[in-house]
């Protein structure tokens, strides 16, 4: 190996790396002291590696009398120290191997630090952006705009009315829930019925027609005056917050129509927990939601309403109700797609399965009942009373 060539190559690489440092990212600049030390260590290792085979060997010498005499003397010394030269070679090889391992380990650690510095820089950038967003949204001007501007609520109210369809048809569907509840044995306890996110008040009007006392909760600024103009008792609040603050065992029936899919998973959990807590012993919870088992509903129609976040499958909703100790007493599907819209040749098994997945019922409903046995409500994990 040509030692001069090796040194020249290393020197050229060091110069090129030094030229690149001027354009390095902040994370790279933070690691420059360490990188310099590793570069020097690598340079020394290359020198050590280059001369590893020269130990114990005769260096080249000119063909002069002095050189020839020196060669003879060196060979005499080598013969006298024949047992020592191999030890020097082994020591030198071991040192070279250690230096290589040290260089590799330090380069690996430096690469890890490089990634860490980059990630920290990205996190800092994101924190600055989010801090600016929070400052913007929490400013007085922005807060006043959010309170005063109800245009979006009016848009949502009009859109949801359109999606619900004619009021008479909807109230006829809701009458079936009243008939189911009235047929229960033992009968439900007396007390008011609650409608969560009551919208235009279809369920409250149905409850009133059945001679029951109904209360609604609605956060939409356009729906509130509409319901009050119909003589309905509606409070302006978020349903989850309302349930958290109401007294335990307050309502005989709670309706949650097309609301569960508007919340993230944790808040949906809180909605059901609060509903169970607010139900009287023997009370009933009605849950109605888009059916994601139907591709038409789950991938298309559910997203007509921009407040929908994620449709919850019937299995997950039923499990959540049973998790809090409710007994599901009725399951039903609604809003089937007309057969004329199905794929033809429905007599074939494959087509029948495709129609089931593509054009299944677009809505499911669960009716669940709390145990009639009075007592302290406890979390299913046994850690204490419901929050």
What is the pLDDT, as a whole number, of residue 66? Answer: 72
Is residue 37, in this structure, part of any structural domain at all?
yes
Q: Are residues 194 and 225 in the same domain?
A: yes
Q: Are residues 259 and 126 in the same domain?
A: no
Closest CA to 254 of 374, 368, 173: 368
Q: Are residues 313 and 178 in the same domain?
A: yes
| CATH number of domain containing 168 | 3.40.50.150
Is residue 384, in this structure, part of any structural domain at all?
no
Question: Which 3 state secondary structure label does DSSP give 75?
Answer: helix
Contacts of residue 85, Cβ cutoff 8 Å, sequence gap at least 6: 55, 56, 78
Angle of the 265-278 helix axis to the 314-323 helix axis, nearest 10: 50
Q: Are residues 133 and 157 in the same domain?
A: no
Helices (H) and strands (E) in the chain, counts: 15, 7
Is residue 382, in this structure, part of any structural domain at all?
no
State the Cα–Cα distance between residues 90 and 93, nearest whole angstrom.
5
What is the pLDDT, as a whole number, of residue 153? Answer: 93
* DSSP summary character for residue 21: G
Work out the end-to-end distance of the chain between its first and last CA atoms, rounded to an integer number of angstroms.
77
Tokens describing residue 145: 């705009």
Q: Are residues 311 and 339 in the same domain?
A: yes
Is residue 326, in this structure, part of any structural domain at all?
yes
Rounded to the nearest 10 degrees, how much is the dihedral formed by the CA atoms of 154, 160, 165, 169?
A: -100
pTM score, whole prediction: 0.61
The answer to whether 368 touches 327, Cβ cutoff 8 Å, is yes
Is residue 339, in this structure, part of any structural domain at all?
yes
Q: Which residues pair with 331 in a beta bridge?
A: 366
Domain count of the fold of the chain = 2
State the Cα–Cα distance between residues 278 and 257, nearest whole angstrom.
17
Q: Are residues 158 and 73 in the same domain?
A: no
Q: Are residues 168 and 214 in the same domain?
A: yes
The answer to whether 336 touches 251, Cβ cutoff 8 Å, is no
Is residue 301, in this structure, part of any structural domain at all?
yes
Contacts of residue 318, Cβ cutoff 8 Å, sequence gap at least 6: 328, 331, 366
Q: Are residues 175 and 26 in the same domain?
A: no
Among the candidates 105, 137, 169, a domain finishes at: 137
pLDDT, tens only, 336-383: 888 888 888 878 888 788 888 788 889 999 999 999 876 555 566 654
What is the pLDDT, as a whole number, of residue 2? Answer: 53
Among the candidates 102, 137, 172, a domain finishes at: 137
- Report CA-CA distances (Å) from 239 to 102, 199, 278, 319, 379: 62, 12, 12, 21, 20
Report the run of H or E that residue 375 belongs to, with start and end: none
Burial class (CB in 10 A: 0-12, 13-18, 19+), 206: buried
pLDDT, tens only, 22-66: 445 554 555 556 666 767 777 776 776 666 666 555 566 667 777
Q: Which residues constitute the domain of residue 98?
A: 3-137
- Report CA-CA distances (Å) from 32 to 26, 38, 106: 10, 10, 13
What is the pLDDT, as a whole number, of residue 81? Answer: 60
Is residue 146, in this structure, part of any structural domain at all?
no
Tokens describing residue 230: 């119909």
Is residue 145, in this structure, part of any structural domain at all?
no
Q: Are residues 91 and 188 in the same domain?
A: no
State the Cα–Cα distance between residues 191 and 213, nearest whole angstrom.
7
What is the pLDDT, as a whole number, of residue 240? Answer: 95
Q: Are residues 191 and 288 in the same domain?
A: yes
Q: Are residues 339 and 271 in the same domain?
A: yes
Q: Are residues 30 and 97 in the same domain?
A: yes
List, for the chain, all residue ranges whose pLDDT scores fall below the cut of 70. Answer: 1-36, 38, 45, 48-62, 67, 74, 77-89, 92, 103, 125-126, 128-149, 374-387
Question: Which 3 state secondary structure label does DSSP give 193?
Answer: strand
């Amino acid at each position: 190996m040509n030692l001069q060539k090796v040194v020249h190559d290393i020197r050229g690489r060091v110069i090129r790396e030094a030229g690149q440092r001027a354009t390095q990212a902040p994370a790279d600049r933070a690691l420059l002291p360490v990188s310099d030390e590793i570069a020097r260590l690598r340079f020394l290792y290359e020198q050590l590696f280059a001369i590893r085979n020269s130990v114990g060997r005769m260096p080249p010498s000119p063909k002069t009398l002095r050189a020839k005499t020196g060669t003879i003397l060196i060979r005499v010394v080598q013969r006298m120290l024949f047992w020592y030269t191999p030890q020097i070679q082994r020591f030198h090889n071991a040192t070279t191997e250690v230096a290589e391992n040290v260089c590799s380990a330090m380069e690996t650690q430096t690469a890890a630090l490089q990634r860490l510095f980059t990630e920290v820089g990205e996190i800092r950038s994101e924190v600055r952006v989010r801090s600016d967003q929070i400052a913007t949204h929490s400013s007085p001007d922005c807060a006043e705009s959010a309170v005063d501007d109800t245009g979006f609520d009016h848009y949502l109210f009009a859109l949801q009315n359109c999606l619900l369809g004619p009021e008479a048809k909807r109230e006829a569907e809701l009458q079936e829930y009243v008939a189911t509840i009235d047929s229960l044995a033992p009968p439900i306890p007396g007390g008011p019925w609650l409608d969560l996110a009551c919208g235009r008040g279809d369920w409250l009007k149905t409850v009133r027609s059945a001679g029951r006392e109904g209360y609604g909760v609605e956060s939409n600024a356009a729906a509130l005056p509409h319901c009050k103009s119909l003589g309905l008792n509606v409070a302006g609040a978020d349903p989850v917050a309302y349930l958290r603050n109401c007294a335990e065992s307050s309502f005989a029936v709670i309706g949650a129509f097309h609301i569960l899919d508007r919340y993230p998973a944790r808040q949906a959990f809180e909605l059901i927990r609060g509903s169970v807590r607010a139900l009287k012993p023997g009370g009933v919870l009605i849950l109605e939601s888009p059916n994601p088992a139907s591709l038409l509903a789950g991938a298309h129609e559910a997203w007509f309403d921009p407040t929908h976040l994620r449709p919850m499958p019937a299995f997950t909703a039923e499990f959540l109700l049973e998790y809090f100790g409710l007994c599901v007493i009725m399951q039903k599907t609604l809003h089937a797609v007309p057969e004329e819209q199905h794929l033809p040749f429905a007599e074939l098994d494959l087509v029948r399965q495709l129609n089931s997945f593509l054009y299944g019922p677009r809505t499911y409903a669960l009716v669940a009942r709390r145990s009639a046995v009075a007592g302290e409500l406890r979390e299913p994990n046994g850690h204490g009373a419901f929050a």
